[in-house]
């Protein structure tokens, strides 16, 4: 019986660790996407605050193309961030469920250990009681 409980504990611990690792990966992915979006925002602000002459780039349309690409990439990043957050919510729920299962398995193992200890104490007490009765019957 304890081998089954030990196996259950190993499995639930492994599943909990896997779920937490997936959640960490989802958090890292969102952070990476958010950092890229922040860099694009910084680039856009830098262009707006630049005091250099941008007329040559504007005349050739390069500035408009660049801003268009940045805006498109920013929109794409916003979609990817939304998807990353959805995956993150899903993996957080999975991690919470795995954690709960692991805690339940630990609680079960603890209860089984307590029950075994009580049974062992009861058996020891019964043995001592039997020895006591035997010794009372023996002549001195």
| pLDDT, tens digit, 9 for 90 and up, residues 21-38 | 999 999 999 999 999 999
User: Is 64 a domain residue?
Assistant: yes
Give 138's DSSP letter: S
How many domains is the chain partitioned into structurally?
A: 1
User: Is 131 a domain residue?
Assistant: no
pLDDT at 124: 93
User: Is 52 a domain residue?
Assistant: yes
Contact assessment for residue 27 and residue 116, using Cβ atoms and an 8 Å cutoff:
no
User: Is 41 a domain residue?
Assistant: yes
User: Is 125 a domain residue?
Assistant: no
User: Is 117 a domain residue?
Assistant: no
Domain assignment of residue 55, given as a range = 2-102
pLDDT in tens, 94-136: 999 999 999 999 999 999 999 999 999 999 999 999 888 888 8
């Amino acid at each position: 019986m304890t081998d089954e409980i030990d196996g259950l504990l190993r499995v639930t611990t492994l599943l909990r660790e896997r779920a937490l690792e997936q959640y960490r990966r989802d958090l890292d992915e969102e952070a990476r996407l958010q950092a890229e979006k922040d860099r694009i925002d910084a680039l856009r602000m830098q262009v707006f605050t630049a005091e250099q002459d941008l007329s040559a780039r504007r005349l050739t349309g390069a500035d408009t193309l660049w801003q268009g690409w940045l805006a498109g990439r920013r929109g794409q990043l916003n979609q990817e961030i939304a998807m990353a957050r959805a995956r993150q919510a899903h993996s957080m729920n999975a991690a919470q469920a795995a954690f709960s299962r692991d805690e339940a398995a630990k609680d079960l193992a603890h209860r089984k250990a307590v029950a075994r200890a009580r049974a062992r104490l009861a058996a020891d007490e019964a043995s001592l009681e039997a020895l006591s009765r035997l010794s009372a019957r023996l002549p001195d």
